[in-house]
């Protein structure tokens, strides 16, 4: 297992582009089967981060928020980014609801189809569906800085922990606080 001690990383960004850049770093690191759960209020920067992840995966298509379609898929270099926005689902969506919507299948396939990277906005709404190996990113707006954001990144499981360890190394900071 890669550096199992690294579990949490906090990164502060001060501009949209910096959050995008963190996404691009993550997109360059993730392997197929990775599931990313993105949380944060309206306008926190979840889609911005996914746009960065797409860029890091080599996807040149413009990534837009799938709020009205629930799921968008983007292919690049033999891999696929599956972008889910659970905003329109009720809090506490059940496994049965999600199965009806096909979401459970998509998340199951993440494991089986080693090409898929799945990023979910408003992940809180479908928490019951996530695999044990998960990279969770919670974005919070700074109270005193319009373009300030804090990314709290938490890994559970070996695959996600490996990504978190790489990200920590890239920011050359000990487990704890990084600024960007
Ligand atoms: N540091 C920052 N990181 C990310 N976005 C920022 C930052 N500073 C300002 N912004 C702005 O905040 C907005 C973030 O929008 P974005 O669509 O990414 O949020 P979201 O969390 O996906 O929202 P929603 O819940 O509506 O889907 C953009 O207008 C972006 O330019
Ligand atoms: Mg969004």
0.85 surpassed by pTM: yes
Structural domains for the chain? 8-179 (3.40.50.300)
- Residue 142 Cβ inside 6 Å of ligand 1? The answer reads no
Query: Which residue's C-alpha comes closest to atom 17 of ligand 1?
Result: 47
According to the model, what pLDDT value does residue 167 have? 94
According to the model, what pLDDT value does residue 66 have? 64
According to the model, what pLDDT value does residue 67 have? 62
- Residue 47 Cβ inside 6 Å of ligand 1? The answer reads yes
According to the model, what pLDDT value does residue 2 have? 46
For the chain, 180 residues long, give each residue's pLDDT as a single digit of tens: 444 455 899 999 999 999 999 999 999 999 999 999 999 999 999 999 999 999 999 999 888 876 666 888 899 888 899 998 888 777 767 767 777 777 777 777 766 667 889 999 999 888 888 889 999 999 999 999 999 999 999 999 999 999 999 999 888 665 555 555
Residue of 127, 149, 128 lying closest to 138 (CA atoms)? 149
According to the model, what pLDDT value does residue 37 have? 97
According to the model, what pLDDT value does residue 1 have? 46
Residue 152 phi, psi dihedral angles, 5° rounding: -100, 110
Tell me which residue has tokens 């889910």.
84
Residues 56 and 24: beta-carbon distance below 8 Å = yes
DSSP β-ladder status, 71-76 and 79-85 = antiparallel
Distance 174 CA to ligand 2 centre (A): 30
Distance 102 CA to ligand 1 centre (A): 27
């Amino acid at each position: 297992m890669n550096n199992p001690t690294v579990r949490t990383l906090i990164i502060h960004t001060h501009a949209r582009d910096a959050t995008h850049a963190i996404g691009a770093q993550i997109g360059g690191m993730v392997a197929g089967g990775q599931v990313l759960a993105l949380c944060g209020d309206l306008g926190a920067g979840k889609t911005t981060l996914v746009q960065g992840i797409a860029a890091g995966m080599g996807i040149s298509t413009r990534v837009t928020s799938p709020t009205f379609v629930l799921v968008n898929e983007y292919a690049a270099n033999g891999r696929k980014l599956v972008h889910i926005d659970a905003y329109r689902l009720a809090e506490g969506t059940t496994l049965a609801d999600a199965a009806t919507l096909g979401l459970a299948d998509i998340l199951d396939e993440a494991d089986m189809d080693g090409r898929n990277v799945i990023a979910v906005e408003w992940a809180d709404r479908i928490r019951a569906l996530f695999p044990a190996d998960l990279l969770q990113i919670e974005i919070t707006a700074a109270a005193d800085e319009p373009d300030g954001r804090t990314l709290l990144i938490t890994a559970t499981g070996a695959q996600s922990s490996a990504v978190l360890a790489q990200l920590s190394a890239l920011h050359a900071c000990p487990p704890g606080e990084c600024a960007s």
